[in-house]
Structure 1
Amino acid sequence: MRYVNKWSALLLAGLWGCGEPALESQQQQDFGPQTATVYQPLSASTRPGMGASVYSGGTTFRVWAPLAKTVYVKGDFSGWNGIALGSEGNGNFSGDVSGAVKGQKYKFVTINQWDGSAEHADPRSAWQENSSGASIIYDQGTYFWKSQQFSTPPFNEMVIYEMHVGTLYDSPGGGPGNWTSAIAKLDYLRDLGVNMVEVMPAFEFAGDFSWGYNAAYPFAPESAYGTPDDMKRFVDEAHYRGIGVIFDVVHNHYGPSDLPMWCFSGDCLGSGGEYFYTDWRKNTPWGSTRPDYGRPEVRAYIRDSMMSLTNAFRADGLRWDATKYMRTSDGNEGNSIGDAWTVFRSINREINSTQPWKISIAEDFGAGDSITNDATSDTSGGGGFDAQWAGEFVHPVRQAVIESNDANRDMNAVKNAITQRFSGRHTARIIYTESHDEVANGHSRVPEEIWPGNAGSWASKKRSTLAAGIVFTSPGVPLMFQGQEILEDGYFSDGDPVDWNKLNSFGGIKTLYRDLIRMRRNWSNNTRGLRGGNVNVYHVNNTNKVIAYHRWDVGGPGDDVVIVANFSGTYFSSYNVGFPRGGLWYARFNSDWNGYSSDFGNTATLDTNANAGAKDGLGYNGTIKLGPYSLVVFSQ
């Protein structure tokens, strides 16, 4: 039957406009010059899909609005006149709109139980004109993928480069960088040896400049960066170069501004409506916008946004931001939110069962071993994450190189950082010295913190690259932050692009990182142990600030690796350490080589014979030269 009531007559006459002709394919009735076109209410659709799902000849619209009395869709396809959707009786309203096609704009209008109306973009919008504008119909199946043979690297072979689309490759002033400009740096990253990029949140947020952690539309790529097809092309081009893509996702809070789902049904329930907690659990450090993980429909909303990335966008992994603020209200374990564990487990189980080669990473700091182990333990009792960011690594290693006084460096803390692991798996932790959090929020880049205002100094170069050497030779999945390899200074800002001119000044430092990455990935087939899970930190000299450790997978020539690191400014002309086997050990890497920087000492750390004789609990020992603030790597 056709609808006519006081609300619709008023709204159709004014708010919806009648500037464009109605579609002939929809039944309509003209109520005279004082009203706009009125459409016959649609029956609920039998087609699948939430949001806007394109079919041949039209689009199915389906939206969850459990507290609404009526829901309309309007857009370019209807001259912005409203079409009533059919109720499915489960909180969903849906309908098939013939003639609605990809690229047309649309919005929903909800009528609450008091006949109040509100206009919203689609909470599941896959394409937004901007954060406060209309949704745009998008067909996920129309992009043609050219890279069909890509395989995600195994976890133990991953080397991750964290990047921000808006600042990776851009010029100061004007708008932010975008997917196309980021693609232009992929050849560089491939040549550096990176095989995974982790993209800071790139989903529609308020304004054009942001870190991305204020995402308002978890299904829609940020419009300032480009279209959904542009985002797919970035993934496609990365895959074409052998690089996987991890997307950073935010579900501990939304927005808090420009939220399409806020009070969606027109009943705010005393706060934000059905999508959000409305009691003490709503409060987060970033606003009172924590989604209600206890509602199956909200869990489905989060799940579908994740699967859109791993399926439609072919992502190779997900990095879940601040999971501690999903499972607690304020980071305090006493204020736990048990519903969050259901979200973790259900989604990670699905990824593990359908695409187990894709990595799921939690950011979950400061909760103690029992909780952090739970995050990465299996879904029968834990969160089921493959890995989590390791604060237990980054903080002691940064401290050991930022400290200005050699006497205060703690080699036992460095040892613990190297050996710490979650759930007994070496790949269950992401290790780094620079990330978006560690180079802002009161922190700076490591070279900057070593010598504020003089990040290009000898001390900054030596000690920051020493820390990088620990990252790439320790058990774990190594990560670096954009520009780290060219000694970026200062702190990270969403309006300050990476200064690629630093390649001219610090190209040797970039080569140092390239060499570390190649060793970590066993490019020359003589450092396989760096991909293995075994480590023995057998030499800890806290007086002279030297540490040595053995890495291996199955052991033997080409597998066993010995690392010796000097955290002091002292040059050692003859330093004796243990070796796990006798014979000749080849010097594969020396961070003091002056090819990396002309002011490095070029200490002659040469191939070394390990002779029989107990040392450091091992059966053999060898004597080497060791430069200040330097790391050397040996293998057979």
Structure 2
Amino acid sequence: MRCVHSMPFGAELTSEGVRFALWAPTAGDVRLVLDGAEHSLDAAKDGWYRLVSKEARVGSRYGYRIDGNLIVPDPASRFQPDDVHGLSLVVDPASYAWSETSWIGRPWEETILYEVHVGTASPEGTYAGLSEKLPFLRDLGITAIELMPIGDFPGKRNWGYDGVLPYAPDSAYGSPDDLKRLIERAHELGLMVFLDVVYNHFGPSGNYLHAYAKSFFTERHPTPWGAGINVDGEGSRVVRDFFFHNALYWLEEYRIDGLRFDAVHAITDDGTPHFIEELATRIRQNIKHRHVHLVLENEANQARWLGREQDRSVSLHTAQWADDIHNSWHALLTGENEGYYEDYANKPLDHLGRALAEGFAYQGDPSPHKNGVTRGEPSRHLHPAAFVAFLQNHDQIGNRAFGERLSHLIPQERLAMAQALFLLAPQIPLMFMGEEWAASTPFQFFVDFEREPDLAKAVRDGRRGEFKRFKAFADPEMSQRIPDPTDLATFERSRIDWSEPERSPHREALARTREFLDLRRREIIPLLKSDYQGSRYTVSPEKALDVTWTFSAGALHMIANFGDTPMQMNGDPSARILWASPGIDPAGENILPPWTAIVAKGPSA
């Protein structure tokens, strides 16, 4: 099977030669640079420059000379052998023959996500290296890997959110065919592959769109990264299509199973339909015969994108990252109250209960962290599987000054309790690489701007300055201890150590994770595949949390004591205990000691 996504830009192989197409509406002159020679292009009034070349071939290097001097890569390049500032490579996507042709994905309810950074997930830091770890993840109970962004970024190491060429998988990890082999191997093992994509900004180095397509951006919608992407002004049709095709490209040409859309709250669209709506609609219209899952990161907590049809099928987007669940857990477990944890620190247990039962903790409520601005929409009507829950992810670890994991911050018995409730709750769980064995390695913020020392200094100084508003780093001497993101050692420290699962205490943590994931597969997933009937929760003055989710196939009940004194439990005698904290006798006196919990399953009410 050959998989190709055709698009109106980039380099496309045709029966008449290679067609080159660039949208450069604000350039005065554009010429194709092909294997060292220059060629004129046909210029259209709408800003397009095109040429079908019989001289070009697979493997040709090409770029575009803008206004007589600057040579830029193709913004829709399929591969950049020499990084973001080099020439693009003509690629034949049909040259890869997919041998696994029957794969149609897996139902969303079966999803157990494992977020990975390709460069630090294996000793090799490549697609091939990650592929070798897939059997371990399959045997653990993981059903999907989620790759942090891989669109070409400057240098050899980056989280991926500084990408500037979103169609080109970064060469630091291997070739396009290496990525396809990783995906095919995952499918052979029954694993889905998700990809994190960034449509809200471009990185600070290697984005040449400003040189020839200024209308790609707009000052009307400023973002934390500068001018916003123009998705609603003059010329926005081409801009929108650039990203819509990118999503379809990954889904069709690489057979990706799901996409995670980064920070969509930073995409401002005053038009109709909204960018977010049209993005999902285009994907749903084009891919109908296999499972495709679309996940949002959306600080605005907009329930409108997450609805279901009466037959439980997804209307637009499948789910949203449940930051409220994480932030409530984190504030409760660590007591931290600075930054965005300010929104949860006053009543962390109340926020956690509401988020677990209803999806969002903030549903139109004023945010202390944002000076009283209201955030969110009512979400109680949504299925729990419309939310992806996590105790840790790349952001929540890596955006800490030293990249500490939760296992570095709290007692192991409390972490084990939180992990049980997290993995056995009905939301779709996501784990960050190494979390399954309580990895000792941090995950720190790293970049590679070696060729641009001024930018490297700005990033280094900016990273340290970012933490000065936190009490612990008000002292300049303390802020200087924050790892230098441009230092290779920062990247190396972030590699997970695959020898750890073989020794204590990581071996025991891994066994515990495996137990929870097996329980989820046997007991929780069947509930999710039945009709959802609603939820309820209570928080007692003694800090007990009681949550029940009801499905047509049964009810899931969690009760946890986060207080300092034992509490009496009033359990349902018809319920069956799925898990209890160590030391609790389910047949005993119904006493729940401090920081213990029980998860039970009973008949539907």
TM-score range, shorter chain: 0.7 to 0.9
Contact 1:539–1:577 (CA<8 Å) still a contact in 2? Answer: no
Q: Is structure 2 residue 324 aligned with structure 1 residue 392?
A: yes
SS in 1 for 2:217: coil
Q: Is structure 2 residue 398 aligned with structure 1 residue 432?
A: no
Provide closer, same or farther for how the CA distance between residues 412 and 485 of structure 1 changes in structure 2, counting only shifts above 3 A. same
Matching residue's letter, 1:567: F
Contact 1:74–1:83 (CA<8 Å) still a contact in 2? Answer: yes
Q: Is structure 2 residue 318 aligned with structure 1 residue 318?
A: no
Deviations 1:286-312 (A, max 9, x none): 344635553111111111111101111
CA distance in 2, matches of 1:349, 1:193: 32
Question: Match for residue 225 of structure 2?
Answer: 286
Provide closer, same or farther for how the CA distance between residues 287 and 69 of structure 1 changes in structure 2, counting only shifts above 3 A. closer
Question: Match for residue 588 of structure 1?
Answer: 578
CA distance in 2, matches of 1:343, 1:464: 39
Taking only aligned residues, the RMSD between alpha carbons, in angstroms, comes to: 3.0
Deviation at 1:489, TM superposition (A): 4.3
Contact 1:387–1:429 (CA<8 Å) still a contact in 2? Answer: yes
Unaligned runs of 5+ in 2: 1-5, 338-344, 360-378, 447-490
> Which structure 2 residues correspond to residues 1-12 of structure 1 after superposition, within 5 A?
none
Provide closer, same or farther for how the CA distance between residues 562 and 51 of structure 1 changes in structure 2, counting only shifts above 3 A. same
- Whichever of the two has the greater Rg, that structure is 1
Provide closer, same or farther for how the CA distance between residues 258 and 48 of structure 1 changes in structure 2, counting only shifts above 3 A. closer
Matching residue's letter, 1:565: A
Deviation at 1:56, TM superposition (A): 4.6
Question: Match for residue 567 of structure 1?
Answer: 562
Question: Match for residue 11 of structure 1?
Answer: none
CA distance in 1, matches of 2:74, 2:398: 33
CA distance in 1, matches of 2:389, 2:560: 17
Deviation at 1:424, TM superposition (A): 2.1
Question: Match for residue 352 of structure 1?
Answer: 284
Provide closer, same or farther for how the CA distance between residues 94 and 462 of structure 1 changes in structure 2, counting only shifts above 3 A. same
Question: Match for residue 500 of structure 2?
Answer: 502
Question: Match for residue 596 of structure 2?
Answer: 630
Matching residue's letter, 2:66: T
SS in 2 for 1:309: helix
Deviation at 1:534, TM superposition (A): 4.7
Deviation at 1:193, TM superposition (A): 0.8
Provide closer, same or farther for how the CA distance between residues 408 and 291 of structure 1 changes in structure 2, counting only shifts above 3 A. closer
SS in 2 for 1:274: helix
Question: Match for residue 365 of structure 2?
Answer: none
Question: Which of 434, 448, 461 is equivalent to 2:408?
Answer: 448
Q: TM-score, normalised by structure 2?
A: 0.77
Question: Match for residue 18 of structure 2?
Answer: 59
Deviates more, 1:235-244 or 1:471-480: 471-480
Matching residue's letter, 1:251: Y
Deviation at 1:632, TM superposition (A): 3.0
How many equivalent pairs are there? 509
Unaligned runs of 5+ in 1: 1-46, 172-176, 266-272, 328-336, 451-458, 593-602, 609-621
Deviation at 1:604, TM superposition (A): 4.8
Provide closer, same or farther for how the CA distance between residues 554 and 378 of structure 1 changes in structure 2, counting only shifts above 3 A. closer
Provide closer, same or farther for how the CA distance between residues 183 and 536 of structure 1 changes in structure 2, counting only shifts above 3 A. same
Deviations 1:448-501 (A, max 9, x none): 232xxxxxxxx2x11122222222232322111111111134642241111223
Deviation at 1:59, TM superposition (A): 1.3
Q: Is structure 2 residue 373 aligned with structure 1 residue 373?
A: no
SS in 1 for 2:496: coil
Contact 1:162–1:479 (CA<8 Å) still a contact in 2? Answer: yes
Contact 1:256–1:289 (CA<8 Å) still a contact in 2? Answer: no
Contact 2:228–2:267 (CA<8 Å) still a contact in 1? Answer: no
Provide closer, same or farther for how the CA distance between residues 341 and 225 of structure 1 changes in structure 2, counting only shifts above 3 A. farther
Question: Match for residue 554 of structure 1?
Answer: 552
> Which structure 2 residues correspond to residues 459-498 of structure 1 after superposition, within 5 A?
459=411, 461-489=412-440, 491-493=442-444, 494=446, 495=491, 496-498=494-496
Deviates more, 1:298-307 or 1:390-399: 390-399
> Which structure 2 residues correspond to residues 8-23 of structure 1 after superposition, within 5 A?
none
Provide closer, same or farther for how the CA distance between residues 605 and 536 of structure 1 changes in structure 2, counting only shifts above 3 A. farther
Deviation at 1:502, TM superposition (A): 2.6
Question: Match for residue 529 of structure 1?
Answer: 527
Q: Is structure 2 residue 96 aligned with structure 1 residue 143?
A: yes
Matching residue's letter, 1:158: T
Provide closer, same or farther for how the CA distance between residues 341 and 376 of structure 1 changes in structure 2, counting only shifts above 3 A. farther
> Whose helix fraction is larger, Structure 1's or Structure 2's?
2
Contact 2:353–2:537 (CA<8 Å) still a contact in 1? Answer: no
Contact 1:51–1:124 (CA<8 Å) still a contact in 2? Answer: yes
- Structure having greater relative contact order (Cα 8 Å, sep ≥ 6): 2
Deviation at 1:123, TM superposition (A): 0.8
Provide closer, same or farther for how the CA distance between residues 634 and 562 of structure 1 changes in structure 2, counting only shifts above 3 A. same
Question: Match for residue 371 of structure 2?
Answer: none
Question: Which of 333, 336, 339 is equivalent to 1:401?
Answer: 333
CA distance in 2, matches of 1:476, 1:255: 32
Question: Which of 243, 255, 278 is equivalent to 2:203?
Answer: 255
Contact 1:317–1:358 (CA<8 Å) still a contact in 2? Answer: yes
Question: Match for residue 419 of structure 1?
Answer: 357
CA distance in 1, matches of 2:28, 2:528: 61
Question: Match for residue 209 of structure 1?
Answer: 157
Provide closer, same or farther for how the CA distance between residues 479 and 361 of structure 1 changes in structure 2, counting only shifts above 3 A. same
Provide closer, same or farther for how the CA distance between residues 537 and 67 of structure 1 changes in structure 2, counting only shifts above 3 A. closer
Contact 1:528–1:553 (CA<8 Å) still a contact in 2? Answer: no
Matching residue's letter, 2:61: K
